[in-house]
Structure 1
Amino acid sequence: MSVHPISATLSTTALALRRAGCVFAEDEALLLHEAAASPDELSALVERRVAGLPLEHVLGWAEFRGRRFAVDTGVFVPRRRTEFLVAQAAALAPRRAVVVDLCCGSGALGVALADASDTAELHACDVEPAAVRCARRNVGDLGEVYEGDLFDPLPGRLRGRVDVLLANVPYVPTADVELLPAEARVHEPRVALDGGGDGLDVMRRVAAVAPEWLAPGGSLLVEAGERQRDTAVEVLRAAGLTPRVLVSEELYATVLVGTALRIT
């Protein structure tokens, strides 16, 4: 960190952030100071944050499961609560698992799962070109990233072979999108937030096709809101998957797991 003197400028930065409504102003100020290579760069970073850009877009990265992932402007920011989904996926993943990360955004979920499990193949895809570019930087040599709608761009050789299918689908009901904080509503792609009338439209599309791609005993994992979980369970059951609901009170996270039948 090359901005000096740190004590005076840090307190000034924290004050500016607090006035802009940043709840964790002191913590954010420290991160911005660490990121800035000069006083002019610090001013530019603070100006962007005060203008309402998500901190992760200002910094260019987000922390997820103890690792920093590149997050470009306009790309969905991975939420801390989604760490619970990855933890559950890691517990389910067999040795040498084939993993698919649908609606991958930055690619953080798939990479974090690969870090936590014995992953043989990692495939990720997103419909947003900006997300695909960002995910390719994060995934690197760990796997392949494709651009397209849900399963459409995946190679056909994956059909019936996927052990873990992560689908961080949007699940905010359309009518509630305008109630989201401006950081999400204005600066993240709507396609990553809007889940349709009851919030489960994309989940229905994924669940309906997932059995074609899952290996015997493979699992689909998605998030949902607490009020949506009963409907989400029925969606998974209707698709021929065996549903389970997992909840983290600490992270306010609800994860639905739909498991394909094993061949006996």
Structure 2
Amino acid sequence: MMQDAATIVDRLRAAGCVFAEEEARLLVTAAQTPADLAAMVDRRIAGQPLEHVVGWAEFCGLRIVMDPGVFVPRPRTEFLVTQAAALARSGAVVVDLCCGSGALGAALAAAVGPIELHAADIDPASVSCARRNVAPAGGRAYEGDLWEPLPSTLRGRVDILMANVPYVPTEAIRLLPPEARVHEARAAIDGGADGLDILRRVAAGAPHWLAPGGHLLIETSEMQSPQTVEIFARHGLIPRVASSEAWDATVVIGTQPA
């Protein structure tokens, strides 16, 4: 028997879902059968991210395919895409590193037109998801640790390198909501002792892959941005900080000298 919307709203609200009415509407729309709906509501009440339950996330106006365990793109990261779009041109060579679902690359392609898009992640589930999301833009996704799986022909040719690296300090992970702490890949969240371990590795490798005048864009926290600027400069990139109160977002942009 199909649960009525009011019952679903009540169950979601009791489980702590702040936007229970909107979530109930999305669940009802996504369900194929009453049994599907019941299972989906149970999964959501058990704490799974809504995006994993319905199978997609909204990002930059796109529907991004989502699978269980894959990092859900945050609204604040749309600010990184807007910064990349301001720097990109049609036909640019773009790499989405630590790509998760591939949302950043897919969104940038939608914003600026045809690009040569490559994405990479160490998590197999994320790569499977990313392949579906970047395919409409002609993109390719690779499985491996940072640069390792990328074609060597990209060295020195990358115009835009986006990397939404994990930047939560290890000890702070316990403070995250269960949706992230329990249901997303640890590798997509854990940035090491100070949250900057992966960022350091990306910044160190970026100059070998960026074209002259190319740009590295990394999301970080406001508190971590001064250290990020220092790391970028140490590796020969010209850094600047872009921030947005509206998005509650901070992005550090490093430019390869021409």
TM exceeds 0.5?
Answer: yes
Question: For 1:177, which of 173, 176, 179 is the aligned residue?
Answer: 173
Distance (whole Å) between structure 1 residues aligned to residue 51 and residue 202 of structure 2: 28
Deviation at residue 226 of structure 1 after TM alignment: 1.0
Give the aligned partner of residue 143 of structure 2: 147
- SS of 2:67 mapped into structure 1: coil
Q: C-alpha offsets along residues 131-182 of structure 1, whole Å, 9 cap, x if unaligned?
A: 0111111112511111000001111110000000000100000110111000
- SS of 1:227 mapped into structure 2: coil
Question: For 1:78, which of 73, 80, 84 is the aligned residue?
Answer: 73
Question: For 2:59, which of 52, 56, 64 is the aligned residue?
Answer: 64
Question: For 2:32, which of 32, 37, 40 is the aligned residue?
Answer: 37
The TM-score, its normalising length taken from structure 2, stands at: 0.97
Deviation at residue 120 of structure 1 after TM alignment: 3.0
Q: Which residue identity is paired with 1:51?
A: A
**Which aligned segments of 4 or more residues in structure 1 are displaced greater than 2 angstroms?**
none
Q: Which residue identity is paired with 1:201?
A: D
Distance (whole Å) between structure 1 residues aligned to residue 197 and residue 175 of structure 2: 19
Alignment pair present for 1:231 and 2:235? no
Deviation at residue 94 of structure 1 after TM alignment: 2.6
The TM-score, its normalising length taken from structure 1, stands at: 0.95
- SS of 1:226 mapped into structure 2: coil
Root-mean-square deviation over aligned CA pairs: 1.2
Give the aligned partner of residue 28 of structure 1: 23
Q: C-alpha offsets along residues 210-242 of structure 1, whole Å, 9 cap, x if unaligned?
A: 001000110000011111111111011111001
Give the aligned partner of residue 199 of structure 1: 195
Deviation at residue 121 of structure 1 after TM alignment: 0.7
Give the aligned partner of residue 16 of structure 1: 11
Distance (whole Å) between structure 2 residues aligned to residue 46 and residue 75 of structure 1: 19
Distance (whole Å) between structure 1 residues aligned to residue 70 and residue 123 of structure 2: 8
Alignment pair present for 1:241 and 2:230? no
Question: For 1:219, which of 215, 218, 225 is the aligned residue?
Answer: 215
Give the aligned partner of residue 155 of structure 2: 159
Unaligned residue ranges in structure 2 (runs of 5+): none
Distance (whole Å) between structure 1 residues aligned to residue 90 and residue 132 of structure 2: 26
Q: Which residue identity is paired with 1:170?
A: P
Moved more, 196-205 or 137-146: 137-146
Aligned length: 257
Q: Which residue identity is paired with 1:173?
A: P
